[in-house]
Each structure stands twice: as C-alpha cells, then as structure tokens.
Chains A and B, each alone.
Chain A
C-alpha cells in the first residue's frame, strides 16, 4: 500500500470512508436493495456500493455480515450487474478467458520476484475498486512490473494462456476503465516511476508511465518548466494513464491536448511485442503516426510504458480572477471577449453554476464564499499566464473593466497572491470530491456546442424536478460540460429520467458523450451516440489486429457486439 500515493483529496475521502475490511458489522435495518439489486449501506457520512452478485441472491442474508471478507474476493461471479442497475445491461464473463492457476502464479513470481506478485486481500481490494467506489472487480492477482521487459513477459504469457488483463496506473479514472470487471489480472505500472531524461533547452521530458503527475510537475518546476496538462487528480494520477485516456484537464485551452504534446511513446502490445515509438522530434512525417492510436485507447490496444512529452516553459506571471455572471448568455459572451481581449495570455476558463458553489461551500474544507454575501447564478474562473507581471495585470484589468461596463459580470475578485489563487482554484478543482461527499452521484462528461451547453442542464432540472439536484460545471473554454446529478440514493427511477435522454440529447446536438473521461466500462455500449457505425467498425478491426485474443481491458471502450 505504501507504493500508492494519494492526493490530499483522496486522503480525506479515505478518512471519511473508513477501511471497509474493518466494518464487518452490518445493521440489517440500514440495508436497502433496489429492484435492480444494487446493494448499498450507510455508514455515517459515507456510502459505498457493492455490485449485486446475481447468482448469490439466496445467500444474501448470511453474507451481508461479510461484505468485505475473504469470501467475496474468493469467488468469481459469473454475472455482474452494471453498477447503477440499468435495466438490461448485464455483462457476462467471457468464457474464452482462462482462470488463474498456481502455475501462472509461479511463472509470474519467477519473472517479477515474490514481492511484486500481490495476492494479499487488502491491497487487492483497493486495486479492484475505483476511487469513487462505484466499480469493483474481483481480481485475485496484482502484478507490479518494474521494467518494460517485465511488462512484455507478462503480456506474452497472458496472451498465450488467454488470461484477461487490466492495465492500471493511479486508479483515478471515473468511468470504470481502470479496474477489473471480473477476475482480470491487474498490471499496475506504479513501480515504473523513473524520469529517463529531460532536455533543458527543448523542454522534452522522457519518463516512465508510472510517474505521478504532481511529481513530474515538481520535477519540472525546479527546472523552469511545467506539464502541459493539469487536473485535480494530479496527486495520484500517472502520466501513462493520462496518455492512455487522453486526459484533458484545466489547461487544454492554452496548451492543447495530449495528441499535440506527446511526441512519442513506448507501448507493449497484447502479444508482448514492444512497440518503440519513443521519438523526441517535433516533426516526423514518416509513415502512419501510430502513437495517436494509443493516446486515448484506454489500455485496450496496448500498455503504455514510456512517454516522451513536450513541456512548456514556466511563466512567472499568473493571475486568477473569479467572476459572477447573472445568466449563461453572459458567460458565453465573456468567453468570446476573453479570447479576444486576453488573447495569448488566457490559460484557463472554467464555469460553475450556483448549485456547484453551494455544494463546494457545504462539503469542502476551508472554502469560503469569495463573493459574499449572496450566491450568484453563475461563476467563471479565468486564469492568465504570461511573462510580464504588470503587462498582464493591465490587460486583465482592462478586460475586466470593459466586461463590467458591458454588464457581462455583476461582481468579481482578482487573487492578489498565490495563496488566494489556490483557494479559488480549490473551489473548482474540489467539486468532484464535494460531489462524492454529498452522496450518490450520477456523472456525465459531455462536449457540446457552447451556446447549447446549459440548455441540457435546464432540461435535466425540469425532468428531475425535486428528485435530485443537478450540478453543472466544466471547461467552458473547451465546450466541456461536467453534468452531475446528486441524488439522495441510487434509484432506477432517477436513472430512467437521465439515461438515455442525456445521450440522445448530446447525440442530437452532435456532441460527444465523453469529452475527456473516456468510455471505460460505463459507456462501453454508448459509442454509437457519438461515432458512426462505419468508424466503430474500423476501430473494431484495429482492436482485432492488435489484440486478437481480446485480453487487454476486456468489456470496455467498444461495444462487445462489435468486437466479436
């Protein structure tokens, strides 16, 4: 467990949700089972959910007292209901995958050493569960390779045995792509955390996939550079996972996506072959640029083991402004004005609505309302990054003055030092954490045309009425809405109001049903809402080509029906 670094947010979460293994007591009165069979339990302020194991239904009464005991981890359930209990989506474990036996364990111990072959229940429990505690697999084996050669040996063996695997990094994904569905072997690259090289002149960083983003940020900070991406999960997420999910984050507006910043990578294919595409060149038009296939493939085409990334220089003048707008239309106009008037210094443009602010004030520690006394309808966070303090200040203040005079903003603050800037960012970055603390939450990550973005939120509010609270925030600068529905409990009636409406609405407006989170397990069958069948067919062919046995992260990303 020492190998796992957690961000402060995750630490607080862990403190709230006490170690599940120690809570074997269970009051039957507190248990509830919804029609679809999702079981959940209240424990103080924490709730966690365990997937309903269809076959074991008759044993529930007795087994309830051993929720997290060894028994559960020992079986391989044949059927597992999809988490929110959506009506018909049952996934069956694919019978072509082999089951682990003692020969396999001995082989792994031989190549990795005893220490790096984990079968210990405590560690397995956290490796099997995602950080939001929405998905849990039942893998019995966690492997911790330290080099690309070890990853290659593992995959070659697993491919020959037809053992399914799940590549894992910081385990911060939110669509269930990072944890096993059944008993897939977890290959966690956290031990591969070396920085291989850094060129101070070009800013090109070459590192292993298990490097934690925050550590890379500190490493670069000492040398006057920054990572081109930044997310709230930086304390735990690893660069390999970021690349595999094409993570967006808070600075995409300024530095672009990983497709532009990743110059090369090294990946291991399903059959163990090491694909070395670890270039450090800005320009290389020789053949098909294969690395783009791996960026965003969520571990289904290969395991990324090394990354070569272009890092921008660290600029000293950073300004953060937090503004209040009375309606969504003003937020949009503000975005256009910001792009025009702030131009090259604009580095982030985020928005949150009144419900998000209420959530943050109620559930996050140490957060105070920056614009007291009342709450405003919309808040916008603007960040500028430049090299000249007074020039940037002037530009920002001129922009804010004209925005105020134009009636676009009703109030606002400008952070006067880094401490204030961090507090303001904390309000926005802490929203996922606040949502988890608030209880059950359905979350959606959509790319929509900016003009129509908030219409979806309003329609969702009308549909749900007072069944649940709809909270919206996101990277307005990128047209990315994070739509969250915070409910008093997980309930199929609520889910029925949300899905498939939200996907159909997005599809109708030619948006993306997953802007940056990926498809994972959650949206594995939803790709057709945003991509044409022809495109998905080509994707399936590529998957078949690179992973004929389908052992890499099965049941996820592409619909099952299209891969076979």
Chain B
C-alpha cells in the first residue's frame, strides 16, 4: 500500500513573526522556514506504518514556489521514498490544495492519505476535510492514535475532540489528519540525509494535473493583536479602591 503525505513549508514555529509594514501579510524575507510541525508528525506516522510492514512506499508532496523542494528533501531525509513538487508561484488556499491533491491521488493511487491537521501560518484546518469530501473518502481528523488493520483494510483512529477522545473505524482508502500527541517526529540522521540526495522528486504544474487555480480568497489585511497595557504598581489600598471605583468602574 502506498501512503501519500502532504507537507507544507511554513515560517518556523519558534520564530517571532512580524507583520509587514503595509499590513499585507507576515514578514517572510530572511526568516527561517521549516516543515509545518503537524506535517512532520504526519510524515513520522507514515514512516512508522511503513516500518511496521503495513505499507510499501511513502510519498511526500509539497506545493508552492521552488524552495518547497528543500522541505521535500527534509521529508526524504526523514525516510520518505519519493517526493512530488507541484510548482506554483503564488499563495495556494486549502480548496486549491485539495483539488491538486485529488488530481495527484488519481495519478498515484495511494491507499492512505495523511496530512497535518492545520498549517501554523494560516491555521485553516480545512485541507484534509475538503480533500476527503472531494474524493468521497472517509476522514479521521485530529488523530492522536492510528492503528491499521491490513486484512480488514480499515484504520482505527482516536480523535481528540472537545469532549475527550472519539474512536472511529475508517475503511481504506481514507484521509487522516494528525494532531500533536500522535507521535514525536524523528531526527533526520546523516545516512538518511545522504541517501535523500539520490531520491527522486517529480515536478508537476497545476496545468499538468488539469486543475484550474482560482483565487477565491483575498487577504485584505493582517494586523498584530492589540498590545497588552502595562500594569500599574499602586502604593496603597486606598489608591486601589479609588482606581476600581473611578477608572475601572467595577465597584
């Protein structure tokens, strides 16, 4: 069985982000970019499934400008067998990504699709769900545990929901999106980093896949959240009462 994992190149989780002066977005020049943490978890899960013998191949897919290949190489260094890069210069929103992934599924025919639950740059949490809808495949989102049953061709997924943990059984092929507690991604070891150099990354364009990218969303403005006001040190209880009464008007 082939597993396809979608990975996204985003601003590194630990970077302090800044809004561009023209408020059109977040500053990405000269800023460290890395694989989206949830995508790392997704890839790690796919690799573990392969290592347990239940899958034969793991394909890592990324979409966007040429630098996405770096992220795919990281995925290959972790242990993915092949990479696919869908090259597109502008921003891609979840629906477009889902349509492109659907086209790739028709080419590659994987038995399982694993994605991160959301990207840390847009926090959309939509791609996995939209993709499952387009493919009419079952979906198990916010997965905190995945167990595959080869004979029954089914996956048991524990989902982290507001009320606790929900356990679903999905028939394969299915779409799973990963949550934080699913696993701890491995480090890319040197032998694997070296092997990754010779692994294949196939390039496609949206035209190759017969998908028309429509810009159906427009980012109007990006602003920082309002800064918290600095606290004030008071010198006496009387002053506190006075402020509560006259400034905050709560007593």
* Complex contacts, A222 vs chain B, CB 8 Å: 16
Q: Which residues of A contact B37 (CB under 8 A)?
A: 417, 419
Given the known inter-chain contacts A397-B193, A401-B194, A419-B13, please indicate yes or no for A414 contacting B188, CB distance below 8 A.
yes
Interface 1/0 per residue, B212-250 and A, CB below 8 Å: 000000000000000000000000000000000000000
B91 contacts the other chain (CB 8 A) = no
Pair B12/A414 contact, Cβ less than 8 Å: no
Are A400 and B190 in contact, CB atoms less than 8 angstroms apart? yes
Q: Determine whether the beta carbon of B189 is less than 8 Å from that of A413.
A: yes
Whether, in the assembled complex, A197 has its beta carbon less than 8 Å from a beta carbon of chain B, the answer is no
A33 sits at the interface (CB 8 A): no
Partner of B12, one of A370, A390, A417: A417
The distance in angstroms between the C-alpha atoms of A415 and B15, with both chains bound, is 15
Give the CA-CA distance A419 to B10 in the complex, in Å: 14
Which residues of the partner chain A approach B15 to less than 8 Å between Cβ atoms? 418
Q: Is A418 in contact with B190, judged by CB distance below 8 angstroms?
A: no
CA distance A316 to B31 in the complex (A): 6
- Check B166 for interface membership: any CB of A closer than 8 A: no
Query: Which residue on A lies nearest to B69, using beta carbons?
Result: A390
Number of interface residues of B (CB under 8 A): 25
Contact B189 A416 (CB under 8 A): no
* Residue B74 interfacial (CB < 8 Å): yes
The residue among A389, A400, A409, A416 with the most chain B CB atoms within 10 A of its own CB is A416
CA distance A387 to B31 in the complex (A): 10
Q: Does B150 contact A (CB under 8 A)?
A: no
Cβ of A417 and Cβ of B190 under 8 Å apart? no
* Chain A residue at minimum C-beta to C-beta distance from B189: A413
- Complex formed: what's the CA distance from A262 to B78 in Å? 43
Q: Is A316 in contact with B13, judged by CB distance below 8 angstroms?
A: no
Chain B nearest CB, measured from A52 CB (Å): 43
A418 in complex: contacting residue of B13, B40, B70, CB < 8 Å: B13
Assess whether A545 is interfacial by the CB under 8 Å rule. no
Report Cα–Cα, A300/B214, bound state, in Å. Answer: 71
In this complex, what residue of B is CB-closest to A224?
A: B30
Contact check, B188 vs A417: say whether CB atoms are below 8 A apart: no
Q: Which residue of A lies closest to B33 (CB)?
A: A389
**B63 at interface, CB cutoff 8 A:** no
Q: Which residues of B contact A371 (CB under 8 A)?
A: 189
Residues of B within 8 A of A221 (CB): 16
Q: Which of B146-183 contact A (CB under 8 A)?
A: none
Chain A residues within an 8 Å CB radius of B34:
416-418
Query: Taking the nearest CB of chain B, how far is it from the CB of A226, in angstroms?
Result: 13
Smallest CB gap from B13: residue in A: A419
Residues on B with beta carbons closer than 8 Å to the beta carbon of A231: none
Considering the complex, give the chain A residue whose CB is closest to the CB of B14: A418
Complex partner residue of A417 from B31, B35, B191, CB under 8 angstroms: B35
- Are B194 and A422 neighbours in the complex by a CB distance under 8 Å? no
When the two chains form the complex, which single residue of B30, B35, B193 contacts A414, counting CB atoms closer than 8 Å?
B193
User: Contact flags (1/0) for B1-37 with A, using CB distance below 8 Å?
Assistant: 0000000000011111000000000000011111101
CB within 8 Å of B: which of A356-415? 368, 370-371, 387, 389-390, 393, 397, 400-401, 404, 409, 411-415
Contact of B189 among A316, A411, A418 (CB under 8 A): A411
Contact of A409 with B190 at beta-carbon distance under 8 Å, contacts A416-B35, A419-B14 already known:
yes
Using known A-B contacts A316-B31, A371-B189, determine if residue A416 contacts B70 with beta carbons closer than 8 Å: no
- B187, A416: Cβ atoms under 8 Å? yes
Verify if A317 is at the interface (C-beta below 8 Å from B).
yes
CB pair A415–B12 under 8 Å, yes or no, is no
Q: Mark A131-151, 1 if CB is under 8 A from B, else 0.
A: 000000000000000000000
Q: A386 to nearest B CB, angstroms?
A: 12
Assembly CA distance A94 to B102 (angstroms): 83
Residue of B16, B31, B188 contacting most chain A CB atoms (<10 Å): B188
One of B13, B32, B187, B190 near A317 (C-beta < 8 A): B32
Asked if A420 is at the interface of the complex by the 8 Å CB criterion, the answer is: yes
Q: Residue A318 at the B interface, CB < 8 A?
A: yes
Contact B188 A390 (CB under 8 A): no
Is A411 a contact of B187 with CB atoms below 8 Å?
A: no
Please determine whether B14 and A370 come into contact, CB atoms closer than 8 angstroms: no
B35: A residues at CB distance < 8 A = 416-417
Which residues of B, 185-215, contact A by the 8 Å Cβ criterion?
187-191, 193-194
Interface contact A404-B32, CB-CB below 8 Å? no
CA gap between A401 and B13 in the complex, in Å: 28
B40 to chain A minimum Cβ distance, whole angstroms, is 8
Query: 1/0 contact trace for A418-437 toward B, CB 8 Å?
Result: 11101000000000000000
Contact A417 to B187, CB < 8 A, known contacts A317-B32, A318-B32, A390-B70: no
The residue on B at minimum CB distance from A396 is B193
Interface positions of A from 49 to 74, Cβ below 8 Å from B: none
Note all chain B residues with C-beta closer than 8 A to A418.
Answer: 12-15, 32, 34
Beta-carbon contacts under 8 Å, A97-131 to B = none
Contacts of A400 in B (CB 8 A): 190, 193
**How far, in whole Å, are A117 and B193 apart by their CA atoms in the complex?**
59
- B33-50 toward A: CB 8 Å interface, digit per residue (1/0)? 111010010000000000
Docked complex Cα distance between A412 and B191 (Å):
8
Which A residues touch B193, using CB under 8 A?
A: 397, 400, 414
Residue of A nearest to B190 (CB): A412
A222-B16, A401-B194, A404-B194 given; A416·B188 CB < 8 A: yes
Q: Which residues of A contact B78 (CB under 8 A)?
A: 416
Is the CB–CB distance between B187 and A370 below 8 Å?
yes
- State the CA gap A222–B16 with chains docked (Å): 8
State which residues 482-524 of A face B: CB under 8 Å: none
Given contacts A397-B193, A418-B13, A422-B14, contact A413 B32 (CB under 8 A): no
Verify A412–B189 contact, CB threshold 8 A: yes
Chain A residues numbered 276-322 whose CB sits less than 8 Å from any CB in chain B:
316-318, 322
Question: CA–CA, A120 to B12, complex, Å?
Answer: 46
Name B190's contact: one of A390, A411, A416, A419 (CB within 8 Å): A411
How far is the CB of A410 from the nearest CB of chain B, in Å?
Answer: 10
The residue of chain B having its C-beta at the shortest distance from the C-beta of A400 within the complex is B190
Closest to B196 in A: A397
- Whether the Cβ atoms of A413 and B14 lie closer than 8 Å is no
CB contacts (< 8 Å) of A417 on chain B: these are 12-14, 32, 34-35, 37, 40
How far in angstroms is the closest Cβ of chain A from B26?
A: 15
Contacts of B13 in A (CB 8 A): 417-419
Q: A221-B16, A417-B13 are in contact. List 17 more A-B contacts (CB 8 A).
A: A316-B30, A323-B190, A371-B189, A389-B33, A401-B194, A411-B191, A413-B190, A414-B187, A414-B193, A416-B188, A417-B32, A417-B34, A417-B35, A418-B13, A418-B32, A419-B37, A420-B187
Which A residues fall within an 8 A CB radius of B?
A: 221-222, 316-318, 322-323, 368, 370-371, 387, 389-390, 393, 397, 400-401, 404, 409, 411-420, 422
Q: Identify the B interface with A (CB < 8 A).
A: 12-16, 30-35, 37, 40, 70, 74, 77-78, 184, 187-191, 193-194
A sample of 8 inter-chain contacts (CB < 8 A) reads A387-B30, A400-B190, A401-B194, A412-B190, A413-B190, A416-B40, A416-B74, A416-B78
Give the 8 A-B residue pairs with the shortest CB-CB distance, closest first: A418-B14, A417-B34, A413-B187, A412-B190, A316-B30, A418-B12, A416-B74, A413-B189
